[in-house]
Amino acid sequence: MGIWEALFGRKKIQEVSNEADAGFNSEFEVNQKNLKKIEAEEAAAETAAAKAAEENAPAAEETAEPADAAAAPMAEEAAAVVEEADSAVEEADAAAVEADAGVEEAEAAVEEADTAAEEAEAADEEAEAADEEPEAAAEAAEEAEAEAETAEAETAEEAEEVEAESETAEAEEAAEEEDLTDEAAVTEEEPAAEEEAEPAAEVSVDTAPAAAEEDAAGEEEEPEAEAESAADEEAEAAEDKEEPAAETEAEAPAAAPEAVKEAPAAAPDIMSIEPKEVFRYFKIICDIPHGSFNTEGISNFLVKFAAGHNYKCVKDDRGNVIIFAPATSGCEEAPALILQGHMDMVCETAPGCDADMTRDPVRTLVEGDWLTADGTTLGGDDGIAVAMMLAVLDSSEIPHPALECIFTTDEEVGLQGAEALDASEITGRRMLNMDSESEGAFTVGCAGGADMILAVHGRRSEKSGRVLRIRVGGLLGGHSGEMIGAGRANADLLMARILYTLYRKTEFRLLNVQGGNKDNAIPREAEASLLFPAAVDRKKVKKQIKEIRKALKNEYAVCDPGLKVKADWVKENVTELRPAFTKNDTRKFIRFLMTVPNGVIEYTPGLAGMPQTSLNLGILTTAADGISAEFLIRSSVNSQKQMMMDRLACIVAQFEGTVRIVGQYPAWEYRTESDFRDLLQGVYKDTYGKEAGICVTHGGLECGLLAAKMPGLDAVSIGPEMSGIHTPDEKLNIPSVQRTWQFLKAALEACGRE
């Protein structure tokens, strides 16, 4: 590009710029004119508006006055509403203040109520302590009275000794003064007395019941006179305790032989009861301790009885005895008849009874039409059967066919004697069992059973703390077959519930727990000792016990109204170490006891109220390495019995425990046709004027076991009326014994005529 071209370009640019400026200036002028026009229009409008306002002002004022007049009342009303609202707010504020004050008063009242409740609880505990004080005082008074009686007896004995010495001295002086004839007379009297005493110990059972009693009580290890003298001294001590007023009269016999002769007279009432031939032997049986596993004495007595009557007798290693008696005249062609009963009894004592049933006789009492025992079980189950069998064997006037009398041992602990019995010498196939407790009924079937012991193991360690002892008692208990469906409480299971409820709120360690002592009796008592931390809230624990006791008493108000639960803190050194189970094992034991079943499992279809399958936790014990629970399972259906056995085995396995089967027996199945039952039914109708009832029992009878040993056995079970068996409340109805005895004699005669 040349310079001229550059100059021309610059000129061109200048021209364009000038044109642009001219255009801008022209547009600016136009805008200015428009703005001025708008401002002039606005000013004119304002002027017109002001002029219009001036012209319309009087009319607006005239219109505003009525509006103001109308609005004034509304404003006043609004103001009044506002004032009322303000007043309501003030009142609400005042009410809120009063409410706050009420809340404070209520809180204070609650605090006072809590304080009153604590005081009431303390008063209750003091009242409980006061209630227990009379019991303790009574016990102390009894102990003091016993000590006083002992001291008085000792003083009396010393006085007697002095008096005896004085009399001896006087007699010696008198003897010196008497002539030789008088001396000879005195000398002859003394040997006569000795001769009188000695044959009394040698008379056979069939001629002297007192001598039979001596033979039964006598043991090879110690002389008969010493054993019976000790028994007589205990009987006298019992009489002294019960009848202090008769003390002087009871002390008269001093010589040992005379005391032996007076032993049967300790309970003269029973010896006078009809039928005397039956109660005579029942008294002898009561004088011989014969609890389960303690039947050697009565077994030996039966052997001596058989020998005294020249009867064939067989005794096996378990103590079972079979006595064979030939048929009486005119009955030789009749088939042999088996009579059967068991010789052992359940030994239970009432609270406060100090009898030792392993060595002490049963002290019988007559209460109207009932025979009972003083503080213990009576043993009518099945002692009355043994007594009737002996009375039959002892009689020469009762016609009967050949008899095979089976006396078994340890029936009450799983029918162990019958299970071990060798029945090879038994020829009869008709059996009259006498182990029933309901007069007027023929029992023709029973449940089978199994005795199982479940053990759960644990570990102990040395721990210190406070010990709480809990006791459950006052229960009715009863036979676990006959009373299992009566709704009665089981002390072992009540204890389990108490321990479980306590442990859920306050941890403790188990020291021991125990209850019951027979698997076929519902436990009446149980106790446990627990170890709590030393700082445990003792009032809180006692309060929990009271709540549990209240609930249990409410549950069993009808079936077990005497239920009692007592808990006492043991006053011992809290720092002392004790072997307690670990917390885990304590919890395991409690859960095990809460898990196991008990009571009626199933009822018999078609028989209202008749249990078909049940089990009873009868014995609960504690060992160094755990606890054990012994059950008796019953069922009239063998498959259900096995089911319950399997169920218990599964439960204990969950707690890593062990199971042991002590013994089991089959059910005795009902026979639809029975010639023997028909024969007895005819005899019963002739005797009572009506037919006997036919029933099966949930209790265990030996008939099932014996039927398995003797194919074709046709059996019926009878017995007199009894109540409270297996408890210290056991009673035997005397008139029922009399009627049953008459029926038995008639049945024997009828069997002999066939």
The per-residue DSSP string of 279-292 comes to HHHHHHHHHS--BT
Q: Report the percentage of the chain scoring pLDDT > 90.
A: 60
409 phi-psi bin (left φ>0, alpha ψ -120 to 50, beta other): beta
The residue type at 503: Y
pLDDT beyond 50 at 190: no
Rounded mean pLDDT of 595-599? 97
Please give the pLDDT value at position 98.
60
Predicted TM-score (pTM) of this structure: 0.59
pLDDT beyond 90 at 365: yes
Please give the pLDDT value at position 120.
54
Task: Please report which confidence band the pLDDT of residue 7 belongs to, taking 50, 70 and 90 as the band edges.
Answer: very low
Please give the pLDDT value at position 202.
35
Q: Which of the following CATH numbers is that of domain 276-447+671-753: 3.30.1330.90, 2.130.10.10, 3.40.630.10, 3.40.50.10470?
A: 3.40.630.10
Please give the pLDDT value at position 607.
76
Sign of the alpha-carbon dihedral angle for 391, 396, 398, 401: positive
452-492 pLDDT, tens digit per residue, is 999 999 999 999 999 999 999 999 999 999 899 999 999 99
Exposure of 246 in the CB half-sphere (CA atoms within 13 A):
10
Report DSSP letters for 676-737, one per residue. HHHHHHHHHHHHHSSPPEEEEESS--THHHHHHHSTT-EEEE----EESTTSTT-EEEHHHH
Please give the pLDDT value at position 59.
53
Please give the pLDDT value at position 560.
96
pLDDT beyond 60 at 742: yes
Please give the pLDDT value at position 573.
87
- Among 169-183, 323-337, 628-642, 696-710, which stretch is predicted with the lowest mean pLDDT? 169-183
Token readout for 19 is 């044109």
Phi, psi of 121 (to 5 degrees): -65, -45
pLDDT beyond 50 at 557: yes
CATH class of 451-665: alpha beta
Task: Please report which confidence band the pLDDT of residue 663 belongs to, taking 50, 70 and 90 as the band edges.
Answer: confident
Token readout for 16 is 């364009």
Annotated domain spans of the chain = 206-266, 276-447+671-753, 451-665
Beta pairing partners, 197: none
Rounded mean pLDDT of 421-438? 96
Task: Please report which confidence band the pLDDT of residue 32 belongs to, taking 50, 70 and 90 as the band edges.
Answer: low
Token readout for 30 is 């136009």
Please give the pLDDT value at position 54.
65
Question: How many whole angstroms separate alpha carbon 675 and alpha carbon 673?
Answer: 7
377-404 pLDDT, tens digit per residue, is 999 999 999 999 999 999 999 999 999 9
- Among 79-83, 434-438, 447-451, which stretch is predicted with the lowest mean pLDDT? 79-83
Task: Please report which confidence band the pLDDT of residue 360 belongs to, taking 50, 70 and 90 as the band edges.
Answer: very high
Mean pLDDT of the chain: 79
Rounded mean pLDDT of 52-62? 56
Please give the pLDDT value at position 657.
97
Please give the pLDDT value at position 46.
64
- Of residues 506 and 125, more confidently modeled: 506
Question: How many whole angstroms separate alpha carbon 338 and alpha carbon 333?
Answer: 15
Rounded mean pLDDT of 2-27? 48
Strand ranges for 484-608 from DSSP E:
509-515, 521-522, 526-532, 564-569, 578-581, 599-603
Residue 363, CA distances (Å) to 261, 294, 296, 353, 568 in order: 18, 18, 20, 12, 34
Whether 480 contacts 633, CB under 8 Å:
no
Question: How many whole angstroms separate alpha carbon 729 and alpha carbon 712?
Answer: 38
Please give the pLDDT value at position 187.
34
743-754 pLDDT, tens digit per residue, is 999 999 999 998
Please give the pLDDT value at position 83.
63
- Among 330-334, 463-467, 570-574, which stretch is predicted with the lowest mean pLDDT? 570-574
Nearest to 344 by CA among 417, 248, 244, 251: 417
Rounded mean pLDDT of 258-262? 41
Please give the pLDDT value at position 115.
53
371 phi-psi bin (left φ>0, alpha ψ -120 to 50, beta other): beta
DSSP label at residue 446: E
pLDDT beyond 80 at 436: yes
